[in-house]
Amino acid sequence: MKESCSSCTKFSLWVTIPGIVIMAILFFAASQSVFGETGISIPNEASDLNCAESGNCFLPSDITIQLGETVTWSNDSIVLHTVTSGNSEDGPNEIFDSQLIMAGETFSHTFSDVGQFQYFCSIHPWMSGTVTVS
């Protein structure tokens, strides 16, 4: 007669559950690149003028993506922001504009043209970045 091993079952669960979690994390990470989505954070310090000196107004502020990819900006700040194509000197160029992004909300744009796309926050014009599409 075969004996039951309760410690074997516990060990099996201990190995299986982390394995499932790791597989889910790897699938999520792979799906981000397979489905062509890139994330940019708007950190809490972004409304401070000093972020322009350090280049930390958008994280990352300059990215390179492939044609057809989607960029999603997340407002991880407690302050309202925008993601507006163009720059603070020349103004918006009407390629994309998030309007107001409330704290905790996101804005996404899919890039259908190759080129270099500058963007800034129309509320805090020192906040700027570039998306290069190849």
Secondary structure of the chain in HEC code, one letter for each residue? CCCCCHHHHHHHHHHHHHHHHHHHHHHHHHHHHHCCEEEEEECHHHHCCCHHHHCCCCECCEEEECCCCEEEEEECCCCCECCEEEECCCEEEEEEECCCECCCCEEEEECCCCEEEEEECCCCCCCEEEEEEC
Q: What is the pLDDT of residue 70?
A: 98
The least confident of 25-34, 40-49, 94-103 is 25-34
State the pLDDT confidence band at 78, using cuts at 50, 70 and 90: very high
For residue 3, pLDDT over 90 is answered with no
pLDDT average, residue stretch 71-91: 97
Q: Please give the order of strands across the beta sheet that includes 37-42.
A: 37-42, 70-75, 106-110
State the pLDDT confidence band at 55, using cuts at 50, 70 and 90: confident
Report d(CA 34, CA 16) in Å as an integer: 26
The mean predicted confidence, pLDDT, of the chain is: 83
Q: pTM for the full model?
A: 0.73
pLDDT average, residue stretch 71-94: 97
Q: What is the pLDDT of residue 64?
A: 97
